[in-house]
Amino acid sequence: MNELLTTKEVAKLLKVSEQTIRTMTNSHEIPHYRMGKMIRYSRQEIMALFGGELEADPVLDWLIKITQRRKEGKI
């Protein structure tokens, strides 16, 4: 079953601030679901996006992936 996470939980998982997660959400750089005023994130989608690299340096990995996607015109 796919677990839904809060902004706080995703921030903790990725070792970044909640504001970083909000910024990523608002710029559609991270998959999310809006349920009324609530925003939730699929653990499965977060793990697929950031892969097993979470233990290394998730912020650096995220920046590299976003840069690559922008170069490819996917963002």
Q: pLDDT class for 44, splitting at 50, 70, 90?
A: confident
Q: pLDDT class for 53, splitting at 50, 70, 90?
A: low
Number of domains composing the chain: 1
Alpha-carbon span 3 to 73, nearest angstrom = 30
Q: Which residue has the higher pLDDT, 65 or 34?
A: 34
Parent domain of 49: 4-71
Alpha-carbon span 34 to 24, nearest angstrom = 14
For 32-63, the DSSP string reads: -EEETTEEEEEHHHHHHHHGGGGGS-HHHHHH
| Three-state secondary-structure class, residue 5 | strand
% of the chain with per-residue pLDDT over 90: 45
Q: What is the pTM of this model?
A: 0.67
pLDDT of residue 66: 77
CATH number assigned to the domain comprising residue 43? 1.10.1660
Is pLDDT at 55 greater than 80 in this prediction? no
